[in-house]
Amino acid sequence: MSTATNIKRIAISTGGGDAPGLNAVIRAATLAAVNRGWECYGIREGFNGIFFPERFQDGGLFQLTRDRVRGIAHLGGTILGTTNKGNPLKYPLKMPDGSIREVDRSNEILEFFAKKQIDALISIGGDGSLTIAHALAEKGLKVVGVPKTIDNDLDKTFTTFGFDTAVSFATECLDRLHTTAESHQRVFVVEMMGRYAGWIALHAGISGGAHAILIPEIPFDLDKVVEKIRMRDGVGRVYSLIVVAEGANVIHGQRSVMEKAQVGQAERLGGIGEKVARVLAERTGKETRTVVLGHLVRGGSPTSFDRLAAMRFGAAAVRALDEGFTNVMVSLAFPNVQYVPLEEVAGRMKSVPLDSDTLLTGRDIGICFGD
């Protein structure tokens, strides 16, 4: 295939938390590039392969060939490795007095691309990585972003890859908890990832038959959840499943944070499940257990939906470069993939709209949202 843009060599980087489907993007992008006669390279661990080549046996950059990407589309994780520490725009540099200062290392990335004669970057990541991708593109690097996150909180795309796998697994967990909760007449509080958005909790909660779903978009009042549990008890349904998104919080309350944000690193959420469980146990008198799904929802093979979406994204990213696009993200706008400017995505979060029909479905079937 001819290239309108004279691209000969591209590199791929995966940044932020991993998500099922990363390897499928890498495979599709590599094959689409190789089939155009381009060379394709993988950068190790986000941009660590550029900043710390000495840490890697292959110098932090390795060629992605047809052979190298054979049989990886169904594998979780990323063969490139990833990191959610050390944002190049706000890199944490240790000063001689032990303090940490933020520095912008993005120029080193541009210099690396020039030195290695790599013409373009495919950056696969969530909001953080795509904001970095946008900054690099603004400085003149050809960049196409691919939307990845289990949280589904990226704007301008119907969905991100990784989300469907996370929801499917979380749903299966709820299915399993119903039986043990019912046998023991217990309340189970199930904490799920998702950062500041409630997508995973909402979708898995409805699919998995939760009786209450608490999400960041709807600050909750636990008395409403207590009422729901008592109402169920009153009609002989003596167990309840309560799904809590890690970023949910009580009305006028604070988010539950496990670890504060540090330079170049976001805060770590968690712990809300146990807090909710304690209050519910006290107020209902029922035996209560907490299950934190945590990183389990991020592992394993991508579902066929995520695998196909990831492969479509990977191939589309190469097509975008071939067609002369840069500073864009490939996105899903059913039935097709489209390109959207990175500036419309960077730094914007997609929350669950309060009028979404999924949320309304939950309300219509009697799920309590704590409001």
CB of 120 to ligand F6P, least distance (A): 26
How far is Cα 308 from Cα 287, in angstroms, rounded to an integer? 43
- Contact call for residue 87 and ligand F6P (CB under 6 A): no
Q: Which stretch binds ligand F6P (CB under 6 A): 55-63, 97-105, 188-196, 224-232?
A: 188-196
Q: Which stretch binds ligand F6P (CB under 6 A): 51-59, 190-198, 311-319, 331-339?
A: 190-198
> Out of 18, 151, 155, 306, which one is annotated catalytic?
151
* Residues 325 and 319: beta-carbon distance below 8 Å: no
Coil, helix or strand for 258?
strand
Nearest to ligand F6P of 119, 217 (CB atom): 217
Give the start-end residues of each E strand in the chain: 9-14, 39-43, 61-63, 91-94, 100-103, 120-125, 142-147, 187-192, 212-214, 240-245, 257-259, 268-269, 288-292, 328-333, 336-341
| Interface with ligand F6P (CB under 6 A), residue from 39, 45, 119, 151 | 151
Torsion of Cα atoms, 105 then 107 then 112 then 113, to 10°: 130
Quick one: 54 exposed, middle or buried, by C-beta within 10 A (0-12, 13-18, 19+)? exposed
Nearest to ligand F6P of 269, 292 (CB atom): 269
* Residues 187 and 240: beta-carbon distance below 8 Å: yes
The token pair that represents 202 in the structure block: 């909402």
* Residues 143 and 327: beta-carbon distance below 8 Å: yes
CB of 127 to ligand F6P, least distance (A): 9
- Which residue lies nearest ligand F6P, judged by its C-beta? 193
Residues 258-287 within binding reach of ligand F6P (CB under 6 A): 268-269
CB of 269 to ligand F6P, least distance (A): 5
Give the amino acid at 362.
Answer: G
Residues 14-33 within binding reach of ligand F6P (CB under 6 A): 17
Respond yes or no: is residue 151 known to be catalytic. yes
Q: Per-residue contact track with ligand F6P, 311 to 350, x per CB under 6 A?
A: ----------------------------------------
How far is Cα 357 from Cα 266, in angstroms, rounded to an integer? 31
| Interface with ligand F6P (CB under 6 A), residue from 28, 32, 132, 193 | 193
- Contact call for residue 195 and ligand F6P (CB under 6 A): yes
Q: Which stretch binds ligand F6P (CB under 6 A): 7-15, 26-34, 103-111, 143-151?
A: 143-151
Distance of CA 210 to the CA centre of its chain: 23
Nearest 5°: CA angle at 352, between 347 and 354? Answer: 125
Contact positions toward ligand F6P, by CB under 6 A?
17, 84, 126, 149-151, 193-195, 246, 268-269, 298
Q: Tell me which residues are annotated as active site.
A: 151
